Each structure stands twice: as C-alpha cells, then as structure tokens.
Amino acid sequence: MLLRRQLMLASGLLAMPAIARAQGAFPNRPLRLVVPFAAGGGTDVLARILANGMTERLGQQIVVENRTGAGGNIAMEYVVRAPADGYTLLMGTNGAVAVNRHLYKNLSFDPLKDLDPVSLAFRITHLLAVNANLPVKNVQELIALAKAKPGELTFGSGGTGSMIHLAGELFKLRTGIDIVHVPYRGGGPAMNDLAAGTISMMFDSVPSAEPQIRGGRVKALAVCGQVRHPLLPEVPTMAEAGVANYDASSTGGIFAPKGTPPEIVARLNKAVADCVNDAGFKQQLFKAGGDAEASTPEGLMKMSVAESAVWEQVVAEAKITAN
C-alpha cells in the first residue's frame, strides 16, 4: 500500500510540471482573428481595435484575417474547421451567428453548435430615423401614419438580410404596420436617399446616422436598444416610445472552434474583459462606432440562442431567404 501511494505521488509530481508547462504555454505564437467582412468596414475597424487590445494583454500578436462572402458563412466555416487550439478565432456578429442559420438553408454547419463562445466584445446601437419632412414627431405618430397609409411608407436598408433590414422587419412585426422594404447596396446610399426624401425611414447605426440628424436632414425617433445612447441622449428607446419587446442591436463577439480547451477559452475571455475594462480602449472603440461590452462564455451563448429565436420568427414572417 505504501509503495502504491509513493508511486502515485511520484507520478503526480512528475506530471505537474508538464501540465503547468502546457497551461502556461498559451499563447506561444501569433493568433488569427477571422473577420467575415471586408477590410475598412465597421466590423473590421472594431475587430482591429480589439485585436490590438488583446495583443497587448496576451503578449502575442493577433493578426486580423478578412474572409468575406456569403454573409459571413465563409469565415464561420473556416473557423469551424480550424484546429480547436485557440489560435484561430472568429469575430462573430449576431447577424452571422444568430441569423444566418435561418437565412441560409444549406449550411454545412450550425454556428450555435459548432463554435465555442468566448466573450461578447462590442455592441452597435441602431436607431429609427425618418425623413425630416415626414409629418411625424414620434414613433406613435409614425405608426398611426403607416396604419392610415398601408403599403405607402418605405424603409431602406443596406441589403436584404442585413441587421438594419431585420430591424425594420421586427418593427413591422411588433407594431402590425405595413411598410415596404427598399434594399440598397450599403447603408450609405440608403441614408442619402432618406435625407433626400426618396424613402420614408431607415434603421441605421447611431454613429452613422448622427451627423445627418445633427444636420437636420433626418429625424431620430427612437433607438433600437434597451438604453438610450450617449451620442443622442435626448432620443428615447423603443420601449419608452411605446413599442414593447423590441431590441435590434448589432453585436460582435469572439468565438472559437468547438472543443477548444476551457482553460484557453478562459484566458481569451479574460483578455477581452481586460480590454473592455480599460477606459482608453473603450474610448477608442466608441470613436469607431462601437460600445465595448464583455460577457462570460455562457452569457454570449445565452444571448445568441435568444437572438436566434427572435430572428427565426422575423425571417419566417417576412419570408426572407438568402439562397
């Protein structure tokens, strides 16, 4: 019995340095953060700020790699198929992770099942804006006008299936109004037409729409998140404006391939949290259009599952398909 205990103790002592080395080894080489959208776009800019912040805290370079196409599916599949060692990560937006599984019927993977959540990183708040000459002063007047003129009011978006398109479809669903979607090839052209009066309204990000609002070319009626935004503190939330159960923010979170060791996920999660808790980082992200926000891995998964259920209903009701 004594000999057995001595052998077990010896083997344990011998194993401990190896385990410690393995745990302390990550990361020992550069990491990749795969972004589903083109370089220079909003998500890419925010991802690069996050990559720089995490690089400082992990002590290894995080290289941003843009893999565009299929609404984010190409990037997601690339990360899904990557080794589950923490060195290949996804900058996953809720549009890609929570929505695409309903938009694309032939996906060879399921983002919610084949990716491990690490942490939420940022949120982009949207708002409802109308043309300055539209005869409404608040959301309730807009709803009344839309009900008086079914099918006559229009809302623009940056493309079918985009988050600002889905924000409009959710608004239709929650208010029971009939407004017509007009897709554009990007949010910029849609906002230009909103200012010109070609379309009636638009759901756009607060940072993008704020200059047009301040210039008096469009009117902001409500923000689409659960709290008011510091750029436009005078603009009420949808709940305050009388539309219940409405939230249509864009989010970005870090995801890893399924099966990534928990200790590596925890190390990455801490790096994101440390970034978000840094005032300088938060200010840099804010200037680029994002509100820094971290979460636990479990919190990000819970949020993704809940959003997936909401957008599944919206996609079905609006009969939106991407293939």
Q: How far apart are CA 195 and CA 317, in angstroms?
A: 29
Q: Is 4 helix (H, G, I), strand (E, B) or coil?
A: helix
Tens-digit pLDDT profile for residues 27-72: 999 999 999 999 988 899 999 999 999 999 999 999 999 999 999 9
186: confidence class by pLDDT, cuts 50, 70, 90: confident
Q: Specify the higher pLDDT residue, 18 or 48.
A: 48
Q: What percent of the chain has pLDDT over 70?
A: 92
pLDDT, position 22: 44
Four-CA torsion 195, 196, 199, 204, nearest 10 degrees: -20
Q: Is 181 helix (H, G, I), strand (E, B) or coil?
A: strand
- State the CB neighbour count (10 A cutoff) for residue 319: 7
Q: Which two tokens stand for residue 153?
A: 């009011």
**Pair 127, 209: CB distance under 8 Å:** yes
Q: Specify the higher pLDDT residue, 323 or 290.
A: 290
Pairing of strands 218-223, 115-124: unpaired
User: For residue 268, is pLDDT > 50?
Assistant: yes
* 204 Cα distance to chain centroid: 14
Assign residue 303 a region (left: φ > 0; alpha: ψ between -120 and 50; beta: otherwise).
alpha
**Pair 294, 272: CB distance under 8 Å:** yes
Q: How far is CA 116 from CA 83, 209, 301, in A?
A: 12, 34, 8
pLDDT, position 25: 86
Length in residues, the chain: 323
Q: Which of 15-19, 81-85, 129-133, 199-203 has the lowest mean pLDDT?
A: 15-19
**Pair 308, 112: CB distance under 8 Å:** yes
Nearest in space to 295 (alpha carbons), one of 250, 252, 249: 252
Q: How far apart are CA 144 and CA 123, in angstroms?
A: 31
Q: Which residues pair with 225 in a beta bridge?
A: none
User: For residue 1, is pLDDT > 50?
Assistant: no
Q: How far apart are CA 230 and CA 182, in angstroms?
A: 29
Q: Kindly report the average pLDDT of the chain as a whole number.
A: 92
Q: Which residues pair with 232 in a beta bridge?
A: 229
Q: Which two tokens stand for residue 195?
A: 């200012």
